[in-house]
């Protein structure tokens, strides 16, 4: 099996200026895909991501969309831009996401709205815009980066858990609507992944409970993750790659866990 099995395919990964999205973009580029990036960040971080992925693709900056995933019209424009720039949009990864933690009775309305829009509704708008061309070409992969929180809950994350459960429900519905086509739609449900965003939660927990950072990681952050260690970005990217392989053509409507045993617990 060629390592560059995505040669000739176009991929868009939302929220790919850092973390899991950047890891998936890198893996796709290494597999030969033409990748478009999206996401926020400092100009120098975005430039670095575009240069890194562009270098893998043979030089120059990787294509990039600054579209805001909370804005349906921007999402539609991004998909049209991706179709044009990449030649064809064969792989859509809905990955952009944010988090906010608060007891439900204090949860700010605007945070709820933002999380539902970015973490869930953006998937709907992107799929709706990208799917017709995939179905017409009889080729396509839709991958929604959900979470273990798409399958189980944790306290104080009402909007995030609601949005991620919604993403899993959307994934299943789209999958059965397109089941007779060669296009598939699946969700990846990671536990805690070693990204700057997740790692930044360790120190405050250590300070809050007066314990070491190692204890804070194992006993507090990874309290529900039985293996007590981070999921690596590269491993999530490998799962996304697998879903793009021809051999994954019958994997459809799945919520694939990569969580160290969290939802089995
Ligand atoms: P991250 O903060 O490193 O990356 C998030 C990306 O989304 C960034 O590129 C950011 O710029 C982008 N983004 C945020 N708001 C946006 C908007 N309005 N429009 C466009 N882009 C926007 O986080 P991550 O940990 O890599 O998370 C990526 C995805 O994986 C998220 O959906 C998250 O919920 C999910 N996830 C993460 C973990 C984890 O432990 N890190 C676990 C399970 C699921």
Smallest CA separation from ligand 1 atom 6, residue: 15
Q: 255 forms bridges with which residues in the sheet?
A: 187
Q: 65 forms bridges with which residues in the sheet?
A: 38
Question: Could you tell which of 20, 74, 93 is best to mutate to test the pocket of ligand 1, judged by most ligand atoms within 8 Å of the CB?
Answer: 20
Note the pLDDT tens digit of each residue in 219-259.
Answer: 999 999 999 999 999 999 999 999 999 999 999 999 999 99
CA distance 82 to 28: 15
Contact 59, 29 (CB under 8 A): no
State the DSSP code for 201.
T
- Over the chain, what is the mean pLDDT? 97
Q: Could you tell me the pLDDT band of residue 55, with boundaries at 50, 70 and 90?
A: very high
Centre of ligand 1 to C-alpha 20, Å, is 7
Pocket of ligand 1, beta carbon within 6 A = 15-21, 38-41, 68-70, 95-98, 118-119, 145, 147, 190, 192-193, 195-198
**pLDDT confidence of residue 196:** 84
**pLDDT confidence of residue 1:** 42
CA distance 235 to 12: 19
Number of H helices, E strands in the chain: 10, 7
Q: Could you tell me the pLDDT band of residue 206, with boundaries at 50, 70 and 90?
A: very high
Confidence (pTM): 0.98
Place of tokens 């700010």: 108
Does 242 participate in catalysis according to the annotation? no
Centre of ligand 1 to C-alpha 263, Å, is 21
C-alpha angle 104/107/109, rounded to 5°? Answer: 125
Contact 102, 157 (CB under 8 A): no
**Structural tokens at position 227:** 């293996």
**pLDDT confidence of residue 197:** 80
Nearest to 153 by CA among 229, 262, 233, 253: 262
Helices (H), the chain: 19-30, 43-56, 72-86, 109-115, 122-137, 158-177, 196-199, 202-209, 213-215, 233-244
Smallest CA separation from ligand 1 atom 11, residue: 40
Question: Which entry of 28, 112, 160, 262 is annotated as an active-site residue?
Answer: 160
What is the number of other CB atoms lying within 10 angstroms of the CB of residue 103?
9
Contact 185, 175 (CB under 8 A): yes
Mean pLDDT of 123-152: 98
Note the pLDDT tens digit of each residue in 143-183.
Answer: 999 999 999 999 999 999 999 999 999 999 999 999 999 99
Centre of ligand 1 to C-alpha 252, Å, is 23
Residues in the chain: 265
Q: What is the set of domains in the chain, with CATH numbers?
A: 10-193+231-258 (3.40.50.720), 194-230 (no CATH)
Instruction: Give CA separation, 180 vs 48, 50, 177, 250, in Å.
Output: 40, 36, 8, 10
């Amino acid at each position: 099996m060629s390592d560059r099995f995505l040669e000739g395919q176009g991929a868009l990964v939302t929220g790919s200026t850092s973390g899991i999205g950047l890891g998936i973009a890198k893996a796709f580029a290494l597999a030969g895909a033409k990748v478009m990036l999206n996401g926020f960040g400092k100009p120098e971080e975005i430039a670095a991501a575009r240069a890194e992925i562009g270098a893998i693709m043979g030089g120059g900056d990787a294509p990039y969309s600054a579209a805001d995933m909370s804005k349906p019209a921007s999402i539609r424009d991004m998909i049209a831009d991706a179709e044009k720039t990449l030649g064809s949009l064969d792989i859509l990864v809905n990955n952009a996401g944010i988090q906010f933690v608060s007891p439900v009775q204090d949860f700010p309305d605007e945070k709820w709205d933002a999380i539902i829009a970015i973490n869930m509704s953006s998937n709907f708008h992107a799929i709706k815009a990208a799917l017709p061309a995939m179905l017409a070409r009889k080729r396509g992969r839709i991958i929604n980066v959900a979470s273990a929180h798409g399958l189980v809950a944790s306290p104080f994350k009402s909007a995030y858990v609601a949005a991620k459960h919604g993403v899993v429900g959307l994934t299943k519905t789209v999958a059965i609507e397109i089941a007779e086509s060669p296009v598939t739609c699946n969700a990846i449900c990671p536990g805690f992944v070693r990204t700057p965003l997740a790692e930044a939660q360790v120190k405050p927990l250590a300070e809050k409970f007066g314990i070491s950072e190692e204890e804070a990681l194992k006993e507090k952050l990874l309290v529900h993750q039985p293996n007590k260690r981070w999921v690596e970005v590269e491993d999530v990217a490998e799962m996304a790659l697998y879903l793009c392989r021809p051999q994954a053509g019958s994997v459809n409507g799945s919520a694939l866990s990569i969580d160290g045993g969290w939802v089995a617990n």
